[in-house]
């Protein structure tokens, strides 16, 4: 054998009780599991290397169901933000906005629109964005860093907002028949080339301009390929429950599996209302709906500052937004929608400026704003203009009781929603998975260790239809994490958000150490994980 973990406490991802065993790895797969007290005559496995795992838990690698590492994996071979947490697979293409499929026009527009999430604004040469199709992007991940690959595995969702940008543009109107046909083709091509489903950002332009009938038609395409729909739905605030109901009904009509992105209930209007969401989901599940969701274990959200503007202000694209902000009359109308009406970009809730903290800026000359709370529209407008829409924010609008209630649900999975850009990003980017294990398992007892590991491993693997990942099981790919359940904890805080976790000494991707003795190795074992074709 290549490797044996000796005397590990195996938390196998099934949700069942842990057990003590030797786990042998050979050729990138789990070759043997010999439990303590095995029948006489069953020899303990031997290997070229034996790791003493006494007192440590061995689990499947964690799956980040909502990641914004679309360019980071290509820019940074180290990628310790995720590798050090024990993440062995990330799902990219989130919130309806990413970099494939595109043409030359669309690529420039999407780069500007999501530079706050991913960097890569026009003029940024740190990554050569030379692909145009989903397949070409996945190939680029496989051949990254001189052909060596990427730090962890990655799956991709076709981004509906980018598709609409490509076929329709930035106009707030239903697609024409030919435009809808083109969107159907783009989604189908992306799925054929390996995407695992489709995402939407229905509080982000231009994806939010799509009516339900249009989304339903695209979900029919997703369903035909066995993928799933992952919407950031139309409201996490004033209309949250209606927005959840809309997604459940829409996917039921399309016959499509549904995965609710960063599913929570935020803002003052939703304090303590998580049980209403869970009752809605339970009713749908009892009726045969195929639903999962992901959350991160923190109360603040994070997005771009431009995202809170009303949708009409985004029509026409980034340059049109900047022109509206420069015009005094239009800017005052935007302010009125934000502060009085309740902007749809701010989830239908009048903005409370002091809940918004600046997390990052595109222009280094504006770094003095990072870490500050906004004091009103004048400062927000100045930042949007001076930073050319590149500002990222934290929104302190969540509720701990909602976070805890939702993470207990049987269809829950983990997703960091980690934005890696900015001087002061949300600590969820570096801390989500050890935060679950350290705070919510060990300190608070919200979940048992076995339950939590299942939420972070086998459950997302099942949603992604991965036949040989997500469990510690013979024959499965050796994407594994060895951690200390007594000490594992997130190092990342709001003041020091890029601090790495503790208590995770070893992480393997495809049987190779990407983290060894608590240090990131130079191994790049990650590859694109492509949609498993439907049988028959």
| pLDDT score at 4 | 98
> Which pair of tokens denotes residue 58?
């061995």
In sequence order, what are the beta bridge partners of 509?
512
Q: Are 87 and 457 in contact (CB under 8 A)?
A: no
Distance between terminal CA atoms of the chain?
A: 36
In sequence order, what are the residues at sequence separation of 6 or more whose Cβ sits closer than 8 angstroms to the Cβ of residue 512?
A: 28, 523, 525
Give the C-alpha distances (Å, rounded to integers) separating 522 from 205, 475, 508, 525: 39, 26, 12, 10
Are 391 and 116 spatial neighbours (Cβ–Cβ below 8 Å)? yes
Tell me the β-bridge partners of 392: 304, 360
Q: What is the pLDDT of residue 273?
A: 97
Bridge partners for 506 per DSSP: 482
Residue pair 77/524 in contact by the 8 Å Cβ criterion: yes
To the nearest 10°, report the CA torsion of 354, 360, 361, 362: -150
* Closest by Cα among 493, 373, 473, 532 to 59: 473
**CA atoms of 340 and 275, how far apart (whole Å):** 29
Query: Residue 296 burial by CB count (10 A; 0-12/13-18/19+): exposed, middle or buried?
Result: buried
| 280, 358 Cβ separation under 8 angstroms | no
499 DSSP assignment: P
Q: What integer pLDDT is reported at residue 39 of this predicted model? A: 62
How far is 457 from 87, CA to CA, in rounded Å? Answer: 10
Q: How far is CA 400 from CA 15, 25, 273, 489, in A?
A: 24, 40, 11, 19
Q: How far lies 31's CA from each of 15, 84, 97, 516, 529, in Å?
A: 21, 25, 40, 20, 22
The first and second tokens of residue 159, run together, are: 């981004």
What the block records as the tokens of 292 is 């999962």
Give Cα separations from 441 to 18, 274, 297, 518 (angstroms): 15, 20, 11, 21
Assigned token pair, 517: 């003795």
- pLDDT truncated to tens, each residue of the chain (536 aa)? 999 999 999 999 999 999 999 999 999 999 999 999 876 667 899 999 999 999 999 999 999 999 999 999 999 999 999 999 999 999 999 999 999 999 999 999 999 999 989 999 988 999 999 999 999 999 999 999 999 999 999 999 999 999 999 999 999 999 999 999 999 999 999 999 999 999 999 999 999 999 999 999 999 999 999 999 999 999 999 999 999 999 999 999 999 999 999 999 999 999 999 999 999 999 999 999 999 999 999 999 999 999 999 999 999 999 999 999 999 999 999 999 999 999 999 999 999 999 999 999 999 999 999 999 999 999 999 999 999 999 999 999 999 999 999 999 999 999 999 999 989 999 999 999 999 999 999 999 999 999 999 999 999 999 999 999 999 999 999 999 999 999 999 999 999 999 999 999 999 999 999 999 999 999 999 999 999 877 64
Contact present, 227 and 531 (Cβ < 8 Å): yes
Give the C-alpha separation, 475 to 484, whole Å: 25
- H helices of 208-273, in order, are 212-224, 240-254
């Amino acid at each position: 054998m290549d490797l044996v973990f000796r005397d590990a406490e195996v938390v196998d991802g099934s949700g069942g009780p842990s057990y003590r065993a030797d786990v042998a790895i050979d050729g990138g797969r789990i070759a043997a599991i010999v439990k303590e007290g095995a029948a006489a005559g069953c020899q303990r496995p031997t290997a070229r290397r034996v790791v003493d795992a006494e007192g440590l838990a061995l689990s499947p690698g964690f799956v980040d169901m909502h990641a914004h590492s679309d360019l980071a994996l290509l820019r940074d071979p180290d990628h310790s933000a995720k590798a050090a947490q024990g993440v062995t697979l990330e799902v990219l293409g989130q919130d309806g906005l990413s970099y494939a499929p595109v043409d030359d026009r669309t690529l420039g527009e999407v780069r500007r629109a999501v530079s706050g999430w991913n960097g890569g604004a026009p003029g940024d040469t740190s990554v050569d964005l030379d692909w145009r199709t989903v397949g070409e992007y996945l190939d680029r991940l496989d051949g990254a860093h001189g052909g060596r690959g990427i730090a962890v595995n990655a799956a991709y969702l076709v981004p509906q907002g980018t598709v609409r940008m490509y076929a329709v543009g930035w106009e707030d109107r239903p697609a024409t028949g030919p435009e809808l046909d083109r969107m159907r083709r783009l989604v189908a091509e992306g799925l054929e080339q390996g995407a695992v489903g489709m995402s939407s950002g229905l509080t982000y332009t231009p994806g939010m301009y799509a009516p339900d009938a249009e989304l339903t038609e695209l979900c029919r395409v997703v369903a035909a390929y066995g993928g799933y729909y992952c919407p950031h739905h139309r409201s996490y605030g004033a209309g949250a429950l209606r927005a959840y109901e809309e997604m459940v009904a829409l996917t039921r009509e399309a016959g499509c599996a549904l995965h609710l992105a960063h599913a929570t209930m935020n803002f003052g209007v939703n304090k303590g209302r998580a049980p209403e969401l869970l009752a809605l989901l339970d009713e749908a599940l009892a009726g045969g709906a195929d639903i999962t969701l992901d959350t991160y274990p923190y109360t603040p959200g994070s997005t771009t500052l431009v995202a809170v503007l009303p949708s009409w202000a985004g029509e026409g694209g980034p340059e049109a937004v900047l022109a509206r902000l420069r015009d005094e009359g239009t800017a005052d109308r935007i302010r009125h929608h934000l502060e009085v009406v309740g902007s749809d970009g701010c989830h239908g809730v009048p903005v409370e400026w002091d809940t918004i903290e600046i997390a990052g800026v595109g222009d280094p000359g504006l770094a003095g704003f990072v870490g500050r709370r906004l004091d009103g529209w004048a400062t927000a407008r100045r930042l949007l203009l001076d930073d050319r829409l590149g500002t990222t924010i934290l929104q302190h609008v969540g509720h701990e009781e909602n976070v805890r209630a939702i993470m207990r649900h049987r269809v829950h999975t983990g997703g960091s929603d980690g934005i890696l850009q900015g001087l002061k990003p949300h600590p969820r980017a570096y801390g989500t998975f050890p935060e679950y294990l350290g705070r919510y398992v060990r300190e608070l007892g919200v979940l048992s260790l076995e339950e939590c590991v299942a939420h972070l491993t086998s459950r997302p693997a099942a949603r992604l239809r991965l036949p040989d990942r997500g469990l510690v099981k013979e024959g499965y790919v050796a994407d594994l994490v060895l951690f200390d359940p007594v000490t594992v904890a997130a190092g990342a805080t709001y003041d020091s958000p890029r601090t790495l976790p503790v208590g995770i000494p070893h992480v393997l991707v495809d049987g190779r150490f990407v983290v060894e003795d608590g240090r990131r190795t130079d191994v790049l074992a990650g590859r694109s994980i492509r949609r498993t074709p439907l049988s028959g």
